[in-house]
Chains A and B, each alone.
Chain A
Amino acid sequence: DVKVTQSSRYLVKRTGEKVFLECVQDMDHENMFWYRQDPGLGLRLIYFSYDVKMKEKGDIPEGYSVSREKKERFSLILESASTNQTSMYLCASSFPTGGEETQYFGPGTRLLVL
């Protein structure tokens, strides 16, 4: 069974703080993703990675950075948290299987920036 875990379910941070969100998958997946989910907007891709130390910007990378030092771990970093980054953050992983790109999601981290 695919398992994607996220370091925290809930986080409360102050404006200007540096925030780290961690994601770990246990299925040796090549690809990992970070999304944020806001009511009425659906899931929006922040960054994704297709290999260790490789990353690509998604649709809304501003204010975020990522790190992938090991295959199983993908970190999302908010360099200086702002209130408009209050959101649900979802990590996902996938591997190409004959062209199929099924993504498996973690439980999410609900971040509140005060």
Chain B
Amino acid sequence: EDQVTQSPEALRLQEGESSSLNCSYTVSGLRGLFWYRQDPGKGPEFLFTLYSAGEEKEKERLKATLTKKESFLHITAPKPEDSATYLCAVQGTTDSWGKFQFGAGTQVVVTP
């Protein structure tokens, strides 16, 4: 069964203090790994899709990387508006295509 574990559960950063979030996964064949951002009381907002080990994607202060067992979301020089819960999900190749396995998320708070 596909599994996703995110760490840490919560992260408190000063503005400008760079850090990384971890998403460890086990899946029988990776179809895709997805990162989302979720603000309180709202639905998740899509950030990135990664398909193969070594792949990297960037968007403003966020950079996602992928290895065979984990993905990192690097936040460079964060601002208070980067405060949110970041969710990771995987889609495997052997399970029913529609099934995405989500992690519990990392709650990030950036203080001025």
B is a partner of A = yes
Residues of A within 8 A of B (CB): 4, 31, 33, 35, 40-45, 48, 50, 56, 58-59, 90, 92, 99-108, 110
Query: Is B8 part of the binding interface, using a Cβ–Cβ cutoff of 8 Å?
Result: no
Given contacts A42-B87, A101-B31, contact A108 B99 (CB under 8 A): no
Q: Could you tell me if A42 and B41 are in contact, using CB atoms closer than 8 angstroms?
A: no
What is the CA–CA distance of A58 and B96 in the complex, to the nearest angstrom?
Answer: 9
Q: A40 — which chain B residues lie within 8 A by C-beta?
A: 104
Closest to B104 in A: A42
Provide the main secondary structure of the chain A interface: strand
Instruction: Tell me the total A-B contact number using a CB cutoff of 8 A.
Output: 60
State how many angstroms separate the Cβ of A49 from the closest Cβ of chain B. Answer: 8
What is the CA–CA distance of A40 and B103 in the complex, to the nearest angstrom?
Answer: 9
Q: Could you tell me if B97 and A101 are in contact, using CB atoms closer than 8 angstroms?
A: yes
User: Which residue in A43, A48, A104 is a CB contact (below 8 Å) of B102?
Assistant: A43
Q: Mark B86-109, 1 if CB is under 8 A from A, else 0.
A: 010101000011111011110000
Q: B97 — which chain A residues lie within 8 A by C-beta?
A: 101
Q: Could you tell me if B103 and A103 are in contact, using CB atoms closer than 8 angstroms?
A: no
What is the CA–CA distance of A4 and B102 in the complex, to the nearest angstrom?
Answer: 20
User: Which residue in A56, A99, A102 is a CB contact (below 8 Å) of B34?
Assistant: A102
What is the CA–CA distance of A43 and B88 in the complex, to the nearest angstrom?
Answer: 10
Given contacts A31-B98, A48-B98, A56-B98, contact A101 B44 (CB under 8 A): no
Q: B34 — which chain A residues lie within 8 A by C-beta?
A: 102-103
